[in-house]
């Protein structure tokens, strides 16, 4: 089963608590990160948020993503912008062109897909 079909978000507590990059961020960034993870969990490409055209209003992608995330969360733009800057500058999240990416979530999706395919092949023999 694809991770996006799961009704829960896989959160590895030890990984969260021991993430040295995340530890460098403020409590506000931690709260914003949990909301972003929930959004990334429901995306078509697990762990990647595509920046919608209507939010491409600024030459700085981070501001554009902050605008989009403000619409998708309970936060205001001003509450999201600085924590998002922290998360990107510390390497917790990556901006790659029009995508906001959580590498851990992308890697988890790839592993899940490989295991699913292996299980399918094993059950078919």
Q: Which residue has the higher pLDDT, 65 or 8?
A: 65
Q: What percent of the chain has pLDDT over 90?
A: 74
Q: Which residue has the higher pLDDT, 125 or 1?
A: 125
The mean per-residue pLDDT over the stretch 4-30 comes to 90
Distance separating alpha carbons of residues 19 and 27, to the nearest angstrom: 14
Residue 95: strand pairing partners: 100
Give the pLDDT confidence score for residue 120 in this predicted structure. Answer: 57
- Concatenating the DSSP letter of every residue in 5-37 gives GSSS----HHHHHH-HHHHTS-HHHHHHHHHHH
SS3 content of the chain, % helix, strand, coil (to 5): 60, 5, 30
Q: Which residue has the higher pLDDT, 36 or 5?
A: 36
Contact 3, 108 (CB under 8 A): yes
Give the pLDDT confidence score for residue 1 in this predicted structure. Answer: 45
Q: Is the pTM of this model over 0.85?
A: yes
Write out pLDDT tens, residues 84-113. 999 999 999 999 999 999 999 999 888 888
């Amino acid at each position: 089963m694809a991770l996006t079909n799961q009704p829960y978000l896989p959160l590895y507590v030890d990984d969260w608590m021991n993430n040295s990059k995340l530890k460098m961020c403020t409590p506000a960034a931690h709260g914003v990160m949990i909301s972003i993870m929930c959004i990334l969990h429901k995306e078509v490409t697990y762990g990647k948020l595509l920046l919608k055209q209507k939010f491409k209003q600024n030459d700085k992608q981070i501001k554009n993503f902050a605008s989009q995330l403000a619409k998708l969360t309970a936060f205001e733009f001003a509450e999201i912008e600085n924590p998002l800057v922290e998360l990107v500058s510390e390497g917790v999240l990556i901006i790659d062109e029009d995508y906001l990416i959580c590498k851990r979530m992308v890697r988890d999706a790839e592993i899940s897909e490989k295991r699913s395919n292996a299980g399918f092949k094993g059950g078919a023999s």
